[in-house]
Structures are given as structure tokens and as C-alpha cells.
Amino acid sequence: MMIELKSVKKIFNTDGVPFPALKDIDLILGRGDFAAIIGPSGSGKSTLLSIIGGITNPTSGTVIVDGILVHNLSSEQLSDFRSKYIGFVFQQFHLIPFLSALENVMLPLSITRKKDNEQKGLAMARLEDVGLKNKSHNLPSQLSGGEQQRVAIARAIVNEPPIIITDEPTGNLDSVTGEDIMNILTELNMKGHTVIIVTHDEKVASVTKRIISLNDGIMSFK
């Protein structure tokens, strides 16, 4: 077992008004799982993703990842957890605009003790994995949407995290490019990464091995 959520609730307080984003979520994902969390807008998908990814803690319930009680971690401990266990890929890529593709991929390594040469080597290898070795010096503005997303994937995996979490990875891409991205994610899953995708696109979800449905903060399985 890799990821276990038990009775997880998340309530947001907006101007004093409580809003329950997640209601009693129970979820188990194994090592090497390839799951899609699907649901309409406002269903709590991104919130669930952020709890699994250690970006935020649940209001109640437990989150255990690889034996670590994530829900008990402090803010700085969560940072370390994310650095070691989680690779994020966002819908809008979120590359740092003033860093080249190579430097963006090296970003997670900048807070490790790895030397510059080692960082460069690892980053170039990941760029090669996603087919962008020859664009390592390009700025994000000089890359297409698909290329930017591939750089984002390379950045997410450069630290060899066991879990890759993506939020609408093909949301801003055309269907052909989106298919390329899904192929890369599938390959990563085949290499042993646990891949969790949040999407509203049934077609994207169909590529995965498990589909988890979320509606008004309540989970169901397909």
C-alpha cells in the first residue's frame, strides 16, 4: 500500500462561512497505481489532490503515504515530504518564465545537496526522456504548450518521486498533444511511478487503470 486516506474531511472557511469540500473520503492506492479522479467543476478534485500531495492538511481524518502520517506533518515537514515523494504537474504548466527549460527541470534539485554537474546531468536525462533535449536552453515563452507541459513533467520527475500528481495535464492542449502527454504519463507508470490524474475528461480518464469519481466532495468508484 502506498497511499491511504481514511475518513478525510476538508472544510474551507470563506468569510466565516464553512464550505465542506470533501466529505468522509476513504481511498487506498497501491504502489504503481495509475488512477484518474474525475468529476465536475467544484467537486473537490483539486482539494483531494492537494491533500494527497501534501499541499494542505485535511480538517479531519488520516492521510498515510508510504507509512508517513502526512496529516500530522508541520508546514516545513510537508515541504520536505513533497520534495521527496511528490512530483506535481499543473494544468497551466507553471514553469518559471525567466529560467530555461533545463533550469526549470533543475529547480527541485536546487534545494538538494547535489552538485551543479550532477543536477545538470539528471535534468538533461529527464529532458531526453520527454524528447526535449535539444530545447534545453529555450525559455518557456519559446516553447509550445505541449513542450512546456513536457518540461513540467520532466521537472516533476527529476527527483525520482514515487508519486506523480497531475491536475488536468491536457486541459490546455490540443487532442494530439494531449495524447502525447498521456503516453508519457503511461510510460512513467510503467516504470513504477504511482500516477494520479485529476481530469474532467472521460477520454483521458479511460487511459488509466482506475477511475475514482468525485461529486460534491463524495467519492465513488467506477
Partner 1 sequence: MKLHNISLGNLKRRKGKAFLLGIGLTVGVAVVVAMTGITSKMKLDVETKIDEYGANIIVAPKSEEISLIYGGVQVTDTSYGIEELKDSDVLKVWTIHNNKNISSVAPKTIGSYKISDISYLIVGVDFDSEFLIKKWWKWEGERPDSEYDIVVGSTAAGRLKLSPGSKISIAGKDFVVSSILYENASQDDISIFMNMKTAQQILKKEGRVSMIEVSALCIGCPIEEMVAQIGEKLPHAKVTPIRQAMTLRMQTVNQLMRFSVAVSIVVVIIGSLFVLISITSSVNERTKEIGIFRAIGFRRTHIITIIMTEAFVISLLSGIAGWIMGSLSVSFLALQMLGIEGIFYEPGMLAISVGMTLFVGLLSSLYPALKAAKLEPLEALRYI
Using CA atoms, how far residue 59 sits from 13, 21, 28, 158, 218, in Å, is 11, 10, 19, 31, 15
One of 41, 75, 117, 141 touching partner 1 (CB under 8 A): 75
One of 3, 34, 61, 119 touching partner 1 (CB under 8 A): 119
| Minimum distance of partner 1 from residue 155's CB (angstroms) | 7
Q: Which residues are CB-contacts of 2 (< 8 A; sequence separation ≥ 6)?
A: 29, 30, 31, 32, 33, 65, 66, 162, 163, 194
What is d(CA 205, CA 203) in angstroms, rounded to the nearest whole number? 5
One of 84, 133, 200, 210 touching partner 1 (CB under 8 A): 84
What is d(CA 182, CA 154) in angstroms, rounded to the nearest whole number? 14
> In the window 139-168, what residues touch partner 1 (CB under 8 A)?
155-156, 159
| Minimum distance of partner 1 from residue 85's CB (angstroms) | 9
- 67/97 with CB nearer partner 1: 97
59 sits near partner 1 (criterion: CB under 8 A): no
Question: What is the DSSP annotation of 202-217?
Answer: HHHHTTSSEEEEEETT
| Minimum distance of partner 1 from residue 97's CB (angstroms) | 7
Using CA atoms, how far residue 13 sits from 7, 20, 21, 49, 120, in Å, is 19, 9, 10, 19, 43
> In the window 34-53, what residues touch partner 1 (CB under 8 A)?
50, 53
**Nearest in space to 62 (alpha carbons), one of 5, 2, 10:** 5
Q: Under a CB-based contact definition with an 8 Å cutoff, are residues 182 and 166 in contact?
A: no
- 77/183 with CB nearer partner 1: 77
**Binding span for partner 1 by CB under 8 A among 1-9, 73-81, 168-176, 199-207:** 73-81
98 sits near partner 1 (criterion: CB under 8 A): yes
| Minimum distance of partner 1 from residue 221's CB (angstroms) | 26
- Report the interface residues with partner 1, using CB under 8 A: 50, 53, 55-56, 75-76, 79-84, 86, 88, 90, 92, 94, 96-99, 103, 106-111, 116, 119, 155-156, 159
